[in-house]
Amino acid sequence: MAVGALSAAEFRLLRDYIETHCGIALGEEKGYLVETRLAGLLAETGCSDYGSFYRLAANGSGTDLRDKIVDAMTTNETLWFRDTHPFTILREQLIPPLAAQILEGRRFRIRIWSAASSTGQEPYSIAMEIHEYCRTHPGIRPEHFEILATDISPSALFLAKAGRYDDAAIGRGLPPGMKERYFVPQGSVWCVSDDLKKLVTLRKFNLQDSMDPLGRFDIIFCRYVTIYFAPDFKRRVYEGFAKLLAPDGFLVISAVESLLNVTNAFDALSHGGGTYYQCRP
């Protein structure tokens, strides 16, 4: 069966469908991306053109095809300790005052959300940072921390939950000694240690959904995801974080993202060449 190329009308239908279901906003020039990312699913569903593929997705009652489309359209690029300075900020600026409150008996737990955690490198890097902190700060234990890691992509979450990384993935960004300390070799892969896994709860979450059921957080990492969103959705996400964070809570975004002209719910702070944000009182 010959497969038709993506027409301009089909592109618009699929573009709107994708934005409706995951907030990813595609510019007019992204036809090739839709075509290449969805070609496999087109073949899998037996559709001969993108128009019938769209109708199958839009009229289908199940979430299966929708999940697969969202999965195919998300970019899951990530690495360990990505950009370094967010983790320096975590270690030197964010954890110490919260840990001091634990030592003073003014709090019992520090809750961190990795909101778009992809295949797990970000939340497990946070977990390694916490373990390193606990090793050098008597009285502070990993049980004082809770990391919620969420993503919309079922396949990214599957890999994160498995916590198994091949040499190529493990080699991207891990500082010396960390592989030996926090991973267990198993054949040709490296498995995240139980100590790290215990700290991280992974679950599916679409940033378009209500954040209220997730509870309060002291720190939110949300990096390299709002770059894909339209301005209104971006604002909704950041203002949702501001409501969810504890009054003095912190937000860490990537260097390619900015809150400027998006929301004024946060104050920008800098440390070690990196920027992070604190909720405005």
Ligand X SMILES: C[S@@+](CC[C@H](N)C(=O)[O-])C[C@H]1O[C@@H](n2cnc3c(N)ncnc32)[C@H](O)[C@@H]1O
What residues make contact with ligand X under the rule CB under 6 A?
Answer: 22-24, 74-78, 82, 116, 118, 122, 151-153, 156, 206-208, 223-225
Nearer to ligand X, 95 or 121 (CB): 121
Nearer to ligand X, 208 or 278 (CB): 208
Nearer to ligand X, 84 or 264 (CB): 84
SS3 category, 209: coil
Task: Provide φ and ψ at 244, rounded to 5°.
Answer: -80, -25
Q: How far is the CB of 79 from ligand X (least distance, A)?
A: 6
DSSP letter assigned to residue 3? P
Q: How far is the CB of 253 from ligand X (least distance, A)?
A: 9
Nearer to ligand X, 98 or 156 (CB): 156
Q: How far is the CB of 229 from ligand X (least distance, A)?
A: 7
Nearer to ligand X, 148 or 207 (CB): 207
With contact defined as beta carbons under 8 Å apart, do 199 and 147 qualify? yes
Closest CA to 119 of 63, 192, 176, 55: 192
Q: How far is the CB of 21 from ligand X (least distance, A)?
A: 8
Strand-pair partners of 191:
164, 184
The b/e string for 114-134 (b: 16+ C-beta within 10 A; e otherwise) is bbbbbbbbbbbbbbbbbbbbb
According to DSSP, the β-strands at 217-221 and 245-252 are parallel
Nearer to ligand X, 143 or 158 (CB): 158
With contact defined as beta carbons under 8 Å apart, do 144 and 110 qualify? yes
Q: How far is the CB of 112 from ligand X (least distance, A)?
A: 13
With contact defined as beta carbons under 8 Å apart, do 50 and 105 qualify? no
Q: How far is the CB of 76 from ligand X (least distance, A)?
A: 4
